[in-house]
Each structure stands twice: as C-alpha cells, then as structure tokens.
Chains A and B, each alone.
Chain A
Amino acid sequence: MLRVYLDHAATTPVRPEVVEEMLPYFTEKFGNPSSIYRIGWENRSVLDDARDRIAAQLAADSSEIIFTSGGSEADNLAIKGYALANQKRGKHIITTSVEHHAVLDTAKYMEKLGFEVTFLPVDEYGLVSPKQLAEAIRPDTILVSIMYANNEVGTIMPIKELAKVAREARVAFHTDAVQAGGSLSLDVQDLGVDMLSLSAHKFYGPKGVGLLYVRKGIRLDPLIHGGGQERRRRAGTENVPGIVGMAKALELANAEREENMRRITALRDKLILGLRDRIPEIKLNGHPTQRLPNNVNISIKYIEGESLLLNLDMKGIAASSGSACTSGSLEPSHVLLAMGVPHEIAHGSLRLTLGRETTEEEIDYVLAELPPIVEKLRAMSPLYQE
C-alpha cells in the first residue's frame, strides 16, 4: 500500500540537509551561548549567524528577531506581550474569527484580563477587508492581529492593505504567518507588519522552534522571565540546534519557493479538478485563487469528515478535517462555521495539503481511492438520495 502524506499544513518532515546542519549542536558543540569560555562563545556566534541569516530572509534587522518555542508561543508573546506593555494607551484589540486557536484563545484570555476584543467576521471565502478593519478601529485600539494565510482553508488575507490601515491609525499590526512560511513572501518591509510569527516545522525545519519578528520601537512585556536572553524579551537557554535548523530550513524554502510553488500549484489544481470530475456535490472551501498553493479544502455533502478520514487512513492516506481537539476527536471547524458553511456540511470537510515531496503518482492514487470511499459512505448515509 502506498503511504501518502497530505497533511503538510499540520507538520512537515525535517529535510536531511537541515538535520545534518543541526547534529553537531547536540553533541560536540553543546555549549551554552551565554557561557564565557570557548564552546560557549563559539555557540554565541553560531546563534548570531543564524539570527542574521533568518533576518535576511525576512528583510529584517537581526535585533528584531525573538526566538521562541514555536508559533503558538510567538502568537502569545505578540498579543499578551504587546497588550500588557501598552495597556496605558488603550485596551482594545482587533482580530478575526478565523484565526488559529493560538491567537483566538489568547485574545479570549485577554478579555478575561479586562481587554476588549473585536473578532471581525469574514466573508464566504474567509477574507476580511481593509474597510472592515478601518471601521473597527477605535481611539483605544492598540493592536490588530490578522493571520497571513488560513491554516484550514488556505485563504490569503490582504495583509499589505490591512497593515496599511493599521499603520495609518497608529495601531500595531501583528500577523500569524505560521501557515505562510515557506509558501509566501515573508518580506516584512514589503508587508508593512510590526510583528510576525513563524514556526520552523511548517517549512521542513524542526519542531519546538519558531520566532516572532518585532519591529524596532515596539515594546513588549516578556512572557517568560528568568534571564537576559533574546534581549530580555524571552528568557531561557537558546535552542541552538533548533535555531540553526530553522535558519537552514528557511533559506532552503525561500530559495526554492517559486519553483516549488509552481509545481505544487499544478498538482493541487490537478487534485481539485480531478475530485470535481469524480465526485458530485462537492464544494471548494476558501478563495478560489487567493489561496495557499498547497491547500485543498473541500466539503463533501452527505458524509462525515471523520469516517472519511479513517477510511483514508486505512488506505494509507494522511489527511485532516476541521481542527483536532485535545483528545484527538474532531470538532466542526470554527473557520468553516465563520465562513457561513452550515454545521452539517462543515462536518463533512476534508483538507489535503501538499508538500515539496508530493508526487503526481500520489495525487493519482488519491484520485483513485477517494471517490469510491465517498460513494460507499454516501450509500450508507440517510441524507443522500440520488
């Protein structure tokens, strides 16, 4: 049986080149970058280099990069850290109803701390408009957090335009770019954002490492106290192998980005069109063109996503649907519900996300295996009558 991994939005395998670059820092080059002796200061310069390499990829200054344990911590730091450090200027935050839970739940937590949060609704494609944002900004608004690309439906937000609205209103703008990393341009000057979150394992780097870009002049309270690392904004001995791996992975991803995206987009479109041809009554979720090159998200009427995923798993195909809750069971997606997709159809959604090693043979395998599963499940569904 072919094993087909089509859940690259969940995580990606670490590239061998990345692993190789990381390995020495687990063993012989194990020093703590804060130590005064050679194996310490050697790693300090390794860390400095990695920071420079990453900053270059973002068109940022290396002093603007804070390393974190991943995307969720970066989002938490951006929102909590900024809101707490700037609450004297106001206590209103704006975000959207389709954010990743790392932003959504953090924003809800800020409400408990006495902040007011506006959750902007989205249109049927999962988009918020600059006009919507402009209308939501109030004199006491201090922070806007809007994701770059949606992790479930792949819709790409007009970040440049949105950031411009915030800048003109003198409100800080954060974007959760975790899903965009490796797929879209991360040039923070061009985007005009003040803060940007990334996670290495989404672009073939290791898990457990990420970053927050913070534009010079932006003040943040740290979440983690206890040392002077990361310019006193994130205590804790630096994850040297992880950071080195992230730098390598980001360089590779950006260098190969355009070529990879062309190839993956072609495979994605083959998959979408092939499924449309073979399965009646399916609907593509998200924006038809303004979407991540590797994302396919479809609603298949009259069946449950859960049964579909388990059947696919039994055929060796790894896919996802909705968002998994802590126990691993599936909840209907808050993103699809926010886009106005009815509850029962949101339950029948399927997300397939392609990667750099996805082959045409694998797409053909999915196109051969998926339609009969849908047919079988529909035949059992009381809702489906032909």
Chain B
Amino acid sequence: MAPAGKKVLIAMSGGVDSSVAAALLVEAGYECVGATMQLWPRALPGLEENERGCCSLSAVEDARRVANQLGIPYYVLNMQDEFEEHVVKDFTAEYLAGRTPNPCIVCNRKIKFEAFLAKACQLGLDYIATGHYARIGFDEESRRYTLKKGVDLGKDQSYVLYSMTQTQLRHTLMPLGTYTKEETRRIAQRLGLRTAGKPESQEICFIPDNDYHRFLRDYAPEAENPGEIVNTKGEVLGTHRGIAFYTVGQRRGLGISGPEPYYVVRLEPETNRVVVGTAEEVFAKSCTIEKLNWVSMAPPEPGESFETGVKIRYNASVVSGVATLVGPDRLKVEFAEPQRAVTPGQAGVLYQGDLVLGGGTITGT
C-alpha cells in the first residue's frame, strides 16, 4: 500500500472507531478529508431531541474536533433525503411485509458505499474509508477483491458488508480490520483523541430509544393492523396488533398461553396472520437467499453446489451447510444442523474460514 498522493474521504461518525481509522490513515501518509453524514433529522415529532445518538449535534462536534486535531479538512454532508428514501422507507416497508430488516446493511449498500462513495468521486478523491472491523484484500489468482473478517472476531463486521461490489471494494479502505477493539482504544488514548472513551453505539441510529414499535406507529401508522394468531395447523389462538410488530422466533408479548410456550414461526402478510408453534417448530433445515452478491468468489454456475459456512443473523455464529444455486438469483442452503429462527429479511452471508464468499437476503426456509 503506497499511499503517496492518494486522497481519501473518511466517514467519521464521531465514535472512537472512525476517529482512529482517520488517525491511522493520516499517519500512513494519505491525504485525508473527514466527513460526517447527516442522515436523519435530530428532532422528530414525539421524540426528545436526539442528543447522543448518531447524527446528533454532539456526534458532529466530536467528529469535527477529531478532524481538527488530526489537521484534516472536515465537512458535514447532508444525506437526509437519500437516507429516508432508501433506508427508513425500506425499513418500514420490510416490517409491513412481515420481514425483519437489517437497516445497517441497506445503509451500507445505498448510503456509505454508494452515495458517500459518489461524493468522494465528485470531490476527485481516490478512496473512502470507514471504521469497520473487516479486511479488504486482493486475490491475484482470481483477480478479485476479497472481504475477510476483522482479526478481532468479537468485533467482526464483515456480515453487514457482504453487499459490497468489486468496484466498491477497490475504492474502500478499512484500516481497523487488522486491529482489535482494545488496540483501537489504546491508539485513541495514545493520540489523546477526545472520543477514546466513548461507549459503543448498539441501537439503530434513527431509533435512538431503541423502541422500534413506537417508531413504526409514528412513521407508518398503517402498521397497526390487527389479525389472527394461528398455530401451524391453522387453529386461531388469539389476536395480534399487526404483523410488523412481530419477528420470527419471538416468544414474549404474544398474549396467548398454552401447555407449552409458543414462538412465532412465520409471518403471513397475504392473510395478515402470525403463525406460532412449539420450540421445535421454530427450527428449520434450510433457507433460501435472494438478491445475491458474490464477493470473494466468482458467481457459481446454475445448479452448482458447494460446502460453505453461513451466518443468518448479525449475532449468530457461522454454521456449516451446503449451498446450491437453484435459480438465477436464488440460493438454497441446507444446514448441517437445523437452525433456530431463520428470519426472512435478515442477511444470509456465506463464509469460507475468514473469507466472505457472498450473501443475500433470506426469503424463506
């Protein structure tokens, strides 16, 4: 990596990770420009001023001060329209359709690696950089850019990056991929960055109170749409408030009781029903994945099968299985062991060791 004269636009959220990513790139000799994406209005009707979360004034202030400390130019980029259009609307539409979305993945695809990268190009810069814990490489043999887990497996974020295209990978730097979170904090302390001690942000950035039910009620009132709760035999057991408020595998808040606990097995938008079942019925032997993107491997041939690791949720472990391309944009993965709560809308990401082979959106079992 010879950075001489290479220019990079760093996505700075005001957190410790992107602050250190910026510091590392400055140290490495890149010509750096820092930027914070203003993604969501700070004050929402019915919500207190968002003072701490992403896009809050204090986050922007932290990012600006770090940029200032590093001696790099810094801008705030307004991407509120794009964010609402692509991320927030998709988030509610997915819930209304009975799926459980991962908005961070959509944001990465449409905002960070599309709109933000476009901004870097418009400014005549060579790369964008983020504070993700993942590694981007290049495989001489296959002539493909590759994506690997971060070396800190506890912090690894490769799961939310599976949708990156070859072009996006070529123009992106993730300097934290080879560091552990602890090392990141130590670097922040050594450099005296004001963000060194900031806590992790876990929640969805545009729902700072983490109450997605309330968000849906405010943003998409049509989510309140009561219907039947049925068991897998079709017997009516109760009433639900709207399928958008349920997710596969959920046990609490169903308001029905039986000889053994009930779990949500699936959501049926066409009949507006929530289907519940026993603990065993929440397990599935396979899943289908669509809207595929191939990262470190070339797209397989139709009908081709291969052994793979698969991760079906951000917090799930990688499990083994066999994947088969069963349609032009449809992959079937048979798990070695049945998996609990295969959830449509979540990403299914394929791994081979550290390597992200590709991934897509889970559509069913």
Contact = CB atoms under 8 A, between A and B. Distances in A.
A binds B: yes
Interface of A: 306-307, 310-311, 313-314, 325-331, 376-377, 380
A41 B322 CA distance: 91
B284 interface: no
A329 B57 CA distance: 11
A329 B76 contact: yes
B12 to A, nearest CB: 13
B119 A330 contact: no
A311 B119 CA distance: 10
Contact of B76 (A311, A327, A377): A327
24 contacts: A306-B77, A307-B119, A307-B122, A307-B123, A310-B122, A310-B123, A311-B122, A311-B123, A311-B124, A314-B123, A314-B124, A326-B57, A327-B38, A327-B60, A327-B76, A328-B64, A328-B75, A329-B77, A329-B78, A331-B78, A376-B124, A377-B122, A380-B118, A380-B122
B151 interface: no
A383 to B, nearest CB: 13
B123 A329 contact: no
Contacts of A326: 57
Given A306-B77, A310-B75, A380-B118, A327 B123 contact: no
Interface range, B side: 10 to 19
Interface in B110-125: 118-119, 121-124
B118 A329 contact: no
Contacts of A328: 60, 64, 75-76
Contacts of B36: 327
Given A327-B57, A328-B60, A306 B123 contact: no
Most B-side CB within 10 Å, residue of A307, A328, A331, A376: A328
Contact of B38 (A310, A311, A329): A329
A34 B256 CA distance: 76
Contact of B78 (A314, A330, A377, A380): A330
For the complex of A and B, 4 pairs with smallest distance between CB atoms: A329-B78, A329-B76, A329-B38, A307-B122
Interface in B203-241: none
Nearest to B122: A307
Interface string B56-72: 01001000100000000
Contact of A306 (B60, B73, B78): B78
A331 B72 CA distance: 24
Interface string B94-130: 0000000000000000000000001101111000000
Contacts of A306: 77-78, 119
A323 to B, nearest CB: 12
Contacts of A307: 119, 122-123
A377 B121 CA distance: 9
Most A-side CB within 10 Å, residue of B57, B64, B122, B124: B122
A310 B123 CA distance: 7
A330 B81 CA distance: 12
Given A306-B78, A327-B36, 13 more contacts: A306-B119, A307-B119, A310-B75, A311-B124, A313-B73, A314-B124, A327-B60, A328-B76, A329-B76, A329-B78, A376-B122, A376-B124, A380-B122
A377 B122 CA distance: 6
A325 to B, nearest CB: 8
Contact of B121 (A313, A330, A380): A380
A66 to B, nearest CB: 32
Contacts of B118: 380
A64 B75 CA distance: 43
Most B-side CB within 10 Å, residue of A306, A313, A331: A306
A351 to B, nearest CB: 16
Interface string B33-64: 00010100000000000000000010010001
A313 B122 CA distance: 13
Contacts of B57: 326-327
Nearest to B75: A310
A379 to B, nearest CB: 10
Contacts of A313: 73
A342 to B, nearest CB: 14
B191 to A, nearest CB: 24
Most B-side CB within 10 Å, residue of A325, A326, A331: A325
A188 B209 CA distance: 53
Contacts of A310: 75, 122-123
Contacts of B73: 313
A325 B38 CA distance: 11
A306 B120 CA distance: 12
B331 to A, nearest CB: 30
B73 to A, nearest CB: 8
A329 B74 CA distance: 11
A315 B73 CA distance: 13
B163 to A, nearest CB: 20
A307 B124 CA distance: 10
A377 B73 CA distance: 21
A261 B78 CA distance: 35
A325 B77 CA distance: 11
Interface string B327-357: 0000000000000000000000000000000
Contacts of A329: 38, 76-78
Nearest to A381: B122
B111 to A, nearest CB: 14
B353 to A, nearest CB: 38
B72 to A, nearest CB: 13
